[in-house]
Structure 1
Amino acid sequence: MGALPAPAVTFFSSRGPSKASPGILKPDITGPGMNILAAWAPSESHTEFSDGGVGLSFFVESGTSMSTPHLNGIAALIKSLHPDWSPAAIKSSIMTTSDAVDRTGVPLKDEQYRLATFYAMGAGYVNPAPAFDPA
């Protein structure tokens, strides 16, 4: 069935506001970040070997930054449906249709099961379906 609460803000997720730029609130949105894997192929000039001396065909990374391809894919799909929308309109669509509740309808929580603040989750957890037609 899956873990509960889900989704939740992980302990390693960045929190806002930025100390360098406190007037800029981050994060904007929360996306899938726990147990999300991203693979990338090494370049010709950069070869890694496993402990057994065998060349690796790809690398694997995990973490909240790995949600970036998911969010970029959602933005690309929205752009394909609305080619006249600006990047700001696409961002607005994603943020204003996000969810501040988990899949059971309870407000999003952080890793300590406390209510997640907007400094932890931004506008909320991305919800692609309504973002395609936010009106």
Structure 2
Amino acid sequence: MSNENFTDGKIDTITGSQVVGCRSALSGGIMMNVGQAIRLCRTRSGASQTDVARRASCSLSYLSVLENNTRDHTLSTLTRIAQALHIPIGLLFVFAAEEEDMGPVDSDLTGALTKSALASLGGSTGSTHAEGHRG
């Protein structure tokens, strides 16, 4: 089994999840916008793409295509990016989840979780997409 990038509709043999474009379809139909989450965390922390790419041991162009959701990501790459951003990888998944992905979880709870996670990043306190789709 290899951990390679997959094209639309193929199955990731490691996770068993279907890849749809560059928004990963996880088990149960959960869609995640990981590129947007990476960009949110990077910009809120004040880090440049160059700095994050260097600390994550990936090229600037690769980080850019991940942020723009034009290339599939691997868990190992996401782990390195999260480490480069000095955040737990789970925070990327919190920000990447769409409102409908949260299922029966109370919207007030998900809103509070998102607000708390954003506060932990520091930076601007303005409204973001992540705040807007939670509560």
TM range, normalised to the smaller chain? Answer: under 0.3
Scaled by the length of structure 1, what TM-score is found? 0.25
Q: Which has the larger radius of gyration?
A: 1
Normalised by the length of structure 2, the TM-score is: 0.25
* Higher helix fraction (1 or 2): 2
Higher RCO, 1 vs 2 (CA within 8 Å, ≥6 residues apart) = 1
